[in-house]
Amino acid sequence: MPSVLCKCGNKLSFGGIPNSIEWLMISDDGFEKFQGSVDAEYIYREMNSALKCSCCGRLLVFWNGFDVSPISYMPE
């Protein structure tokens, strides 16, 4: 299973379905494209994945898919 290393040293695995540490995000503009009943798969493809580290709370956001390193956001 693929994984990424958090800056705290915790290894975060992704690729599992479902993944309990993965959150899905979509911009409000992106969501506006969808009206009425839609196939969840269409919305899923528009979303960015974020992994939440259970050790330090950082969010590692994959803004450009899983082939590009994620950007890390740390809680204040």
Q: Which stretch binds Zn ion (CB under 5 A): 10-18, 23-31, 34-42, 62-70?
A: 10-18
Tell whether residue 72 is a contact of Zn ion (CB under 5 A): no
- Chain positions 16 to 55 lying near Zn ion, rule: CB under 5 A, are 53, 55
Q: Which stretch binds Zn ion (CB under 5 A): 21-29, 41-49, 56-64, 67-75?
A: 56-64
What are the Cα distances from residue 24, in Å, to 9, 11, 39, 44, 65?
A: 23, 19, 16, 8, 12
CA gap 37, 73 in Å, rounded: 33
Place of tokens 């969840």: 40
State the residues that interact with Zn ion by CB under 5 A: 6, 8, 10, 53, 55-56, 58
